[in-house]
């Protein structure tokens, strides 16, 4: 027996960090850091290079600063504490859900300034001193790396006020320190900008004010020009001013130039401005563009205003760090937004955006479902990659990813893996989930199959096609950038279920309005009409009225479809309720789909509806009324509540009547119950037969097994419902040459679970107790053929128990009752393969159950013997439990935020985790020596000098061979 782990192992987080709040970049190591409001720090380099750390307290990270080239960074938290972190080289350790920090990032030192709130930090180029600007207007200095306060360097605001002209003081406070910038050519000279508009040039060595710049507009940020003769100040009116730095004049009242880019309007503040060869900033007229989030790029006469769909957090440029080329010719602009990361290629004309190999916004439209495909065939992978490149070709640049620091030490993946996510706007996105970096490959949209509000014919005319529109150019020149778009044109487009056959390249997508689309992969663009079939699941039953949303209207004319997955047939369920379950068997050309009203079977090759079965209970009116009817639903829920209260009162009264006979009966019943139920199992509470939504189809399954008798096997369809009903149909599937013969379905078995618990999963096991292979796997020798000589069995997992029935008699063989008194219910079930770490060719199939308590139970099959239990997801995380999806090799994904997947592994052999270093081997060696020296700084001064001498001597000897 294989025991995967003694605990659940979370390995990596995919997606965009939730609620980012700070950004930093190390120009020497080419590493980027992002801080979040939850106190997390994530460091990124080349794809696969990731480091993660979490502060002890869940407090927002407001600022991050790298110590360039050292593999260390400073973080400022909202609670006014400053932390020094160090990136530790080596493999990450295993984590459980209660541990939130990786060994890659370790806390080095810690400092707290409790007197006043910290507003801005400046790390001097020497990296031995940290300047701290505060809300009270004082400037403090910390010695690095120990974070010790240097009292003799403190600059209080009173000392600055005494140097001001009398007419500028006016009894007003200078306000908080808003900006700190060190002179680019002269170390130790610092620009200090106050909120009121005053800028002071402070000489740290002589501790006196070199020059005063008497600004009168509220200050937002400062930036030096490379020579150090000019600096730029940005202000809250959307303008910026250029100031000269001279040796003679100690008090400057007027800038060289002052500009408001878009005229005398009330403008948004320029929160940050960078002076490179390319100037970047913000500032938009609030009167006209108050709801826009913008960033402006100017270079000579070239001018563009990037219009984002979420708030700008921070940005930086990537440029050369050589002294003679400093700040010149920036190669890229990196913008951190509230919901995504955008990188602009500044070397390509037109400044297009670069595709992101990681940190892509998974939640560009809200995720509604997901599906994982393992061991993707190389041909399918290549075609998907080509389809994705064709989509990006006209929209994005093809330059290299500029954040390329560190080294990915993980071996190449042994197989390619896909993660498919369905979204609220009707799109399906394909992600490369083979490694640490979750990379977008291809996006499929189903909206063009229907008539919606976003039809291309309704779009405004392209200005390039109309000379009159060309003359009326918009100013400023806006350009929409980014892919985050949380708004759906029609909520009925939402994707609810996805399944993909990787051998036939058939994709099945089902949506919110009862639409089921079968798609095939094509490498060429196509204009064609999609075949439409309507399946009435109610079968003309009387007495029911659908009061929900209408179905989507399909297009009646050919529509254009880009290379990739293209729709072949659309099956519309009636009533148009949300699809709750789907199954695809590409070898038989069959699909099955279920809703809250029933399930259907469709032959997409012959375009023929084979079966429609209604699963509604006569009292199941909620399913018929739809989500828009509230009055009757409320009345029914109130009636049911009162009925439960009356039942409980009656049962309570009965329990108060005690007689000797009743006591004996109760004792006998308790004894019998103890004999029947194993100690590790719990009591199952029966459910009412007239519970609302009892007809919801929860799972569907195709299988080639024995249903009619024990000698003849054939295709079957299994369906499980919310009321504990299981329907098994025997199918007659004609061969490929019998194109005129239709598929037939005959009801073979109907099973009703005793306690009417919802059926979560159905799986047929062969004579060896193994799951049946997927379509085409056995016929193409891609998997071991199933054992058809011994008796088959079916594993039915409900919310309360697991049960194995023999086939074809459907007699119970074994069961395990999972229900607990505290409300435990099975939510997700999967059959996974665990491979041995000792024997390369040995593996076991295991049943994994995720409950509503967030724990996972593993059982062997078909004996259902418990193996191990994991605490995986917090029981309060309802969204995480609902979004969990398992892989076939023992891994899984679940949403920890709207934009992030947590990846975990139950297998001791299959792990996907960051294995990387922050720099090359030579740099790692030298950096380790420096680190060791810094940790010795707590010794006496004499010992410090001795250590410094030996370190210097060692460097002198070692630098020659390196």
SS3 of 69-128: the string is CCCEEEEEECCCEEEEEEECCEECCCCCCCCCCCCCEEEEEEEECCCCCEEEEEECCCCC
SS3 827: strand
CB 49 within 8 A of CB 406: yes
Helix/strand/coil (H, E, C) string of 408-468?
A: ECCCCCCCCCEEEEEECCCEEEEEECCCCCCEEEEEEECHHHEECCCCHHHCCCCHHHCHH
Which residues does 857 contact at the CB level (< 8 Å), separation at least 6? 818, 848, 849, 851, 866, 869
Closest CA to 602 of 522, 514, 526, 542: 514
What pLDDT is attached to residue 843?
87
CB 130 within 8 A of CB 121: yes
Total Cβ atoms within 10 A of residue 188: 15
**Sequence ranges of the domains in the chain:** 1-9+821-919, 696-734+741-816, 920-955
No. of helices (H) and no. of strands (E), the chain: 11, 65
| Burial (CB count <10 Å: 0-12, 13-18, 19+), residue 851 | buried
Tokens of 227: 């020579």
The DSSP H or E segment spanning 263 is none
The DSSP H or E segment spanning 567 is strand 564-574
What pLDDT is attached to residue 459?
43
Q: Residue 853 — φ and ψ, nearest 5°?
A: -90, -5
Q: Alpha-carbon distance 279 to 261, whole Å?
A: 12
Which residues does 291 contact at the CB level (< 8 Å), separation at least 6? none
Which residues does 713 contact at the CB level (< 8 Å), separation at least 6? 704, 705, 706, 707, 788, 792
Closest CA to 913 of 41, 49, 7, 36: 49
Model pTM score: 0.84
Total Cβ atoms within 10 A of residue 658: 9
Q: Residue 653 — φ and ψ, nearest 5°?
A: -65, -40
Ranges under pLDDT 50 in the chain:
6, 90-104, 277-279, 456-464, 467, 469-472, 627-636, 646-679, 920-942, 944-945, 949, 956, 958-962
Tokens of 304: 């563009």
Angle between helices 941-958 and 921-935 (to 10 degrees): 170
CA distances for 790 relative to 765, 786, 874, angstroms = 11, 10, 42
Concatenating the DSSP letter of every residue in 621-632 gives HHHHH-TT--HH
The HSE-up count of residue 357 (CA atoms within 13 Å, CB side) is 18
Q: What share of the chain is helix, strand, coil (3-state, %, to 5)?
A: 15, 40, 45
CB 561 within 8 A of CB 640: no
The DSSP H or E segment spanning 201 is strand 198-203
CB 481 within 8 A of CB 353: yes
Tokens of 325: 């080329």
Closest CA to 238 of 263, 216, 267, 217: 267
Total Cβ atoms within 10 A of residue 273: 20
Tokens 């009121």 locate to 196
Q: Alpha-carbon distance 445 to 422, whole Å?
A: 10
Q: Residue 284 — φ and ψ, nearest 5°?
A: -130, 145
CA torsion, ordered 384, 386, 391, 395, to nearest 10 deg: 140
Q: What sign has the CA pseudo-torsion 252, 256, 261, 262?
A: positive
What is the Rg, in whole angstroms, of the alpha carbon atoms belonging to the chain?
33
What pLDDT is attached to residue 957?
52
Total Cβ atoms within 10 A of residue 603: 20
What is Dmax (Cα atoms) for the chain?
Answer: 110
Tokens of 610: 């084979």
- The distance in angstroms from the start CA to the end CA of the chain is 51
What pLDDT is attached to residue 56?
85
Which residues does 137 contact at the CB level (< 8 Å), separation at least 6? 156, 157, 160, 173, 174, 175, 176, 177, 194
Q: Alpha-carbon distance 261 to 533, whole Å?
A: 58
Q: Alpha-carbon distance 678 to 28, whole Å?
A: 63
CB 901 within 8 A of CB 438: yes
Strands (E), 312-392: 312-318, 332-337, 341-345, 367-373
Q: Alpha-carbon distance 566 to 525, whole Å?
A: 9
Q: Residue 228 — φ and ψ, nearest 5°?
A: 85, 5
Which residues does 708 contact at the CB level (< 8 Å), separation at least 6? 714, 730, 748, 808
What pLDDT is attached to residue 523?
95
């Amino acid at each position: 027996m294989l025991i995967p782990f003694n605990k659940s192992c979370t390995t990596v987080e995919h997606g965009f960090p939730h609620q980012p709040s700070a950004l930093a970049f190390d120009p020497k190591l080419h590493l980027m850091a992002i801080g979040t409001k939850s106190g997390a720090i994530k460091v990124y380099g080349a794809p696969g290079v990731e480091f993660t750390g979490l502060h002890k307290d869940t407090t927002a990270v407001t600022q991050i600063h790298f110590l360039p080239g050292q593999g260390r960074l400073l973080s400022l938290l909202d609670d006014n504490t400053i932390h020094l972190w160090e990136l530790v080289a080596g493999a990450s350790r295993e984590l459980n859900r209660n541990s939130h920090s990786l060994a890659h990032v370790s806390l080095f030192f810690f400092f707290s300034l409790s007197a006043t709130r910290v507003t801005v930090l400046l790390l001097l180029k020497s990296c031995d001193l940290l300047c701290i600007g505060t809300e009270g207007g004082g400037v403090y200095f910390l010695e690095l790396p120990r974070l010790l306060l240097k009292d003799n360097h403190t600059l209080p605001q009173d000392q600055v006020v005494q140097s001001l002209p009398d007419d500028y003081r006016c009894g007003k406070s200078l306000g908080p320190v808003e900006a700190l910038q060190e002179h680019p050519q002269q170390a130790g000279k610092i620009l200090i900008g106050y909120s009121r508009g005053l800028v002071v040039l402070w000489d740290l060595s002589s501790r006196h004010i070199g020059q005063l710049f008497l600004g009168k507009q509220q200050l937002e940020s400062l930036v030096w020009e490379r020579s150090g003769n000019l600096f730029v100040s940005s202000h809250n009116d959307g303008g910026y001013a250029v100031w000269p730095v001279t040796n003679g004049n100690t008090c400057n009242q007027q800038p060289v130039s002052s500009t408001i880019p878009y005229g005398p309007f009330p403008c948004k503040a320029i929160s940050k401005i960078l002076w490179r060869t390319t100037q970047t900033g913000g500032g938009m007229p609030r009167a006209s563009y108050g709801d826009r989030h913008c960033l402006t790029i100017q270079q000579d006469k070239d001018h563009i205003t990037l219009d984002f769909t979420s708030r700008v957090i921070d940005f930086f440029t990537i440029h050369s760090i050589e002294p003679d080329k400093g700040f010149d010719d920036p190669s890229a602009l990196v913008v951190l937004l509230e919901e995504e990361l955008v990188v602009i290629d500044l070397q390509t004309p037109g400044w297009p955006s670069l595709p992101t190999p990681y940190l892509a916004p998974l939640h560009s439209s809200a995720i509604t479902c997901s599906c994982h495909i393992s061991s993707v065939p190389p041909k399918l992978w290549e075609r998907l990659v080509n389809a994705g490149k064709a989509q990006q070709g006209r929209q994005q640049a093809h330059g290299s990813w500029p954040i390329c620091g560190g080294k990915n030490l993980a071996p190449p993946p042994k197989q390619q893996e896909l993660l498919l996510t369905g979204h609220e706007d009707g799109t399906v996105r394909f992600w490369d989930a083979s490694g640490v970096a979750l990379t977008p490959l291809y996006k499929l949209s189903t909206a063009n199959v229907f008539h919606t509000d976003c039809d291309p014919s309704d779009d405004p005319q392209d200005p390039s096609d109309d000379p009159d529109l060309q003359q009326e150019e918009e100013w400023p020149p806006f350009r929409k950038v980014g892919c985050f778009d949380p708004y759906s044109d029609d909520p009925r487009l939402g994707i609810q279920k996805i399944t993909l056959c990787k051998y036939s390249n058939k994709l099945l997508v089902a949506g919110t309005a009862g639409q089921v689309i079968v798609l095939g992969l094509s490498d060429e663009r196509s204009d064609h009409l999609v075949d439409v079939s309507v399946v009435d699941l109610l079968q003309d039953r009387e007495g029911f009225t659908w009061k929900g949303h209408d179905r989507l209207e399909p297009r009646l004319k050919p529509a254009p479809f880009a290379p990739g997955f293209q729709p072949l047939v659309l099956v519309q369920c009636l009533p148009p309720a949300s699809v709750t379950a789907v199954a695809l068997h590409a070898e038989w050309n069959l699909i099955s789909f279920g809703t809250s009203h029933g399930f259907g079977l469709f032959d997409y090759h012959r375009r023929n509806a084979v079966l429609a079965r209604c699963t509604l209970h006569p009292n199941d009116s909620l399913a018929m009324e739809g989500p828009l009817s509230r009055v009757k639903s409320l009345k029914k829920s109130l009636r049911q509540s009162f009925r439960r209260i009356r039942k409980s009162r009656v049962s309570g009264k009965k329990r108060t009547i005690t007689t000797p006979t009743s006591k004996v009966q109760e004792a006998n019943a308790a004894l019998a119950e103890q004999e029947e139920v194993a100690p590790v199992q719990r009591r199952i509470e029966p459910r009412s037969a007239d519970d609302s939504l009892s007809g919801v189809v929860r799972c569907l399954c195709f299988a080639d097994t024995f249903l009619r008798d024990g000698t003849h096997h054939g295709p079957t369809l299994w369906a499980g419902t919310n009321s504990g009903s299981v329907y098994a149909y025997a199918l007659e599937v004609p061969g490929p040459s019998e194109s005129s013969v239709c598929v037939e379905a005959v009801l073979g078995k109907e099973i009703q679970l005793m306690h009417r618990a919802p059926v979560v999963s159905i799986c047929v096991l062969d004579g060896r107790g193994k799951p049946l292979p997927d379509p085409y796997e056995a016929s193409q020798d891609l998997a071991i053929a199933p054992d058809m000589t011994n008796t088959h069995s079916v594993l039915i997992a409900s919310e309360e128990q697991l049960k194995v029935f023999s086939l074809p008699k459907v007699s119970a063989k074994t069961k395990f009752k999972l229900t607990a008194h505290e409300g435990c219910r099975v939510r997700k079930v999967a059959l996974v393969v665990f491979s041995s770490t000792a024997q390369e060719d040995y593996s076991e199939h295991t049943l994994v159950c995720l409950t509503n308590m967030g724990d996972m139970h593993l059982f062997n099959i078909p004996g259902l013997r418990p193996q191990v239990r994991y605490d995986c997801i917090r029981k309060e995380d309802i969204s995480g439990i609902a979004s969990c999806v398992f892989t076939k090799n023992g891994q899984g994904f679940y949403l920890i935020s709207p934009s992030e997947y947590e990846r975990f592994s139950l297998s001791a052999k299959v792990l996907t985790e960051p294995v990387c270093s922050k720099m090359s081997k030579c740099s790692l060696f030298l950096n380790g020596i420096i680190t060791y020296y810094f940790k010795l700084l707590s010794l006496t001064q004499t010992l410090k000098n001795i250590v410094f001498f030996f370190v210097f001597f060692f460097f002198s000897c070692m630098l020659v061979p390196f």
